[in-house]
Amino acid sequence: MSNHEKMVLTGNQGIARGFYEAGGLLAASYPGSPTVEILDSIKDYEEVYAEFSTSEKVAFEVAIGGSFAGVRSMASMKHVGVNIAADPLMSFTQTKTNGGFVLLTGEDPGMASSQNEQDNRILGKFANMGIVAPGDSQEAIDYTKAAFDLSEEYHLPMMVNITSRVCHSRTPVVLGERKEVEPRVFEKDVERYCMIPPHTHPLQHSMKDRIDKLKEFAYDSELNTFEEGEDKDTLIVTSGLLYHNLKELDLNLSIYKLGMVYPLSPKRLQELSQKFKRIIVIEELMPVIETEIKMMGIECEGKKYFSFTGELHTEDIEEGLKKAGVITERTTTDRAPVDSVKRTPLFCAGCPHRPIFDILKKLRKRVIGDIGCYSMAMFEPFQASDSIISMGATVGITKGMTKANALTGKSEPLVSVIGDGTMFHSGLPGFVNLLHQENETDNMTFIVLDNRTTAMTGGQATAASGNYTSADDMHVDIKTFIQAIGHENVVEVDQFDYEATKKVITEETNKPGISFIIAKRPCALKFKIQENTFYVNPNVCIGCRNCIKTNCPPIRMKKYHNIDKLKSSIDPSMCAGCSVCAQVCPVDAIQPKGQHPDHSKKGSAKYKRQEYQKMKLNNEDQNEDPK
């Protein structure tokens, strides 16, 4: 991309471009929507070192190291990722930054792809950071550059707070030139870099001083703009994308648009409050700006007119302004719900997780789940996950439930399911903790779904991905790793060998103690399966729907010519050839393409069909009312 060229970029690409133009040299991240594309975009710049770290905490610490060493550094993550990085964050903000430091956090109002919609502006204030909030891709570039400048001028880490709508929407931008920033020297200074009480006491005052200076900067900063409209009674205070949504209403209101949402300038807001009879704050999620203004002793309103949850679209803003009496009539109508077919989220064709959850459902095990694409196991038809809280939480929760059950006289084998990426992210401390007060009567089985990628966010590498492709440079062997911790009972399975895997899970869950099962099949999206596809012989199929219940996308029931009953079918364009459907078919109706079964032999379709019918008849006999 040449300088001064006009382009259309997403907000994520804008952040990456801003980092590049600001002279950024080191970037680290952990993949998570809505910010995962930022690091992917940064990797396109050869001058920069960029990595997906094993967790947000590690990514944040890598970026701290870059800042210590005197280069402009950035850590990017989704909003809940900041919770993982909170420990080093809360200490690091006490230090006076050397190289400029930016924490990029992506909010998700409405929870399009997240477990909550926490407002990280509160965390930014809690950590004594300055916060800027871009509302489009150009601002994503400009505010990121400004954040690095402010970080170095005021010696504090800055937060760039962006929402999922801005991350993924595209707006035109003008590219600027890269600013080469001379690396600063890291000099030994224990009072500055060693955060222990003798040093941290004065730093509490230092942090307050930095924020106070930033308030003075905010007074006439170009990041904050005032637009005087015809309405002289009401001042609207807003920021980010909501400014653009408000402008779509063309109301000619007076607007104070905040580019820097923390800290605010009390002096500027006092001046503005003298000019207007009322101030209305429009912001998504928590009333952060509204509360800040009220704490200055300035009357304002906001959340009582606007939703406390979800995104605020143009229609929502207009409705809120009508409730507030700012306007009397609406020009927009509420969005009508789109009439669409309801679909349950599906595992991908050829997904190696499917047979695991099919087995767990049939075994009727209590399953504690975790965060990943396998979270979909909670939906129909599997409904094989009883708990999902946060990354890596399944391990500790499983232990806690087991210990609580023992104390209350209950006995229930528990199964914990965790992906390889999540395990490396935050599951390993829990694995170590299992050794603490281990009891031989505890019955816990931990299934590691080792698909060698973080599939849910687009296939970024995990610490084990290098075993499949030389493009990934970490080759951690999970079985060796778990055994090295001290767990002896570790079994590896190929889950596409359905019966063998079912046998192992049955055995391990039925015996006391701690068991680990590593299900080793690669992600069907990242590592394409090169197997023969399967087809259904409708003359053999009995319509039992066992194959349908495996939740595989290519399989559906359909009407065949000259056959009255609906029979199973497989879309060959989607079939990945994993064979799981063929293995659960009781009558051998599903075969690899080009293979014709010999029905005369034991194990053939004809034989299995006869056995299935016998079994069905026996079950019906047993279920007959003895009366």
Residue 603, pLDDT > 90, answer no
Helices 240-247, 314-323: axis angle to 10 degrees equals: 80
* Residue whose tokens read 């990514």: 59
How many CA atoms, within 13 angstroms, populate the side-chain half-sphere of residue 370? 27
Report how far residue 13's alpha carbon sits from residue 42's, in angstroms, rounded to the nearest whole number: 8
pLDDT digits (tens, 9 = 90+) for 152-170: 999 999 999 999 999 999 9
Check the annotation: does 167 bind a ligand.
no
pLDDT at 423 over 90: yes
Rounded-to-integer distance, Cα 233 and Cα 254, Å: 9
Q: How far, in Å, CA of 306 to CA of 98, rounded?
A: 41
- Tell me the pLDDT band of 618, cut-offs 50, 70 and 90: low
3-state secondary structure of 170: strand
Measure Cα distances from 317 to 136, 227, 231, 283, 300 in Å. 18, 18, 17, 10, 16
| Residue 566 CB partners (closer than 8 Å, separation 6+) | 543, 557, 558, 559
Question: Is residue 194 within 8 Å of 24, Cβ to Cβ?
Answer: no
Of 202, 185, 218, give the one whose Cα is nearest residue 94: 202
The neighbouring-strand residues paired with 254 are: 235
31 and 454 in contact (C-beta within 8 Å)? yes
Residue 351, marked binder: no
pTM: 0.88
The CA distance from 254 to 234, in Å, is 7
Is 300 assigned a ligand-binding role in the annotation? no
Helix axes 56-68, 81-92, angle to 10 degrees: 30
Find out whether 339 and 360 touch, Cβ atoms under 8 Å: no
The pLDDT tens digits for 275-286 are 999 999 999 999
Q: Which of 57-66, 154-163, 607-616 has the lowest mean pLDDT?
A: 607-616
**pLDDT tens sequence across 123-137:** 999 999 999 999 999
| Rounded CA separation 141/133 (Å) | 11
Check residue 593 and give its pLDDT.
84
| CA proximity to 21, closest of 157, 138, 133 | 138
Distance, CA of 485 to CA of 504 (rounded, Å): 22
The predicted structure's pLDDT at residue 336: 83
The answer to the question of whether 575 is labelled as a binding residue is yes
113 or 408: whose pLDDT is higher? 408
Share of the chain above pLDDT 90, in %: 80
Contacts of 302 (CB under 8 A, 6+ apart): 280, 281, 282, 283, 287, 289, 290
Q: Is the pLDDT of residue 612 over 60?
A: no
What pLDDT was estimated at residue 622?
A: 46
Is there a binding annotation on residue 194? no
C-alpha span between 401 and 388 (Å, rounded) = 14
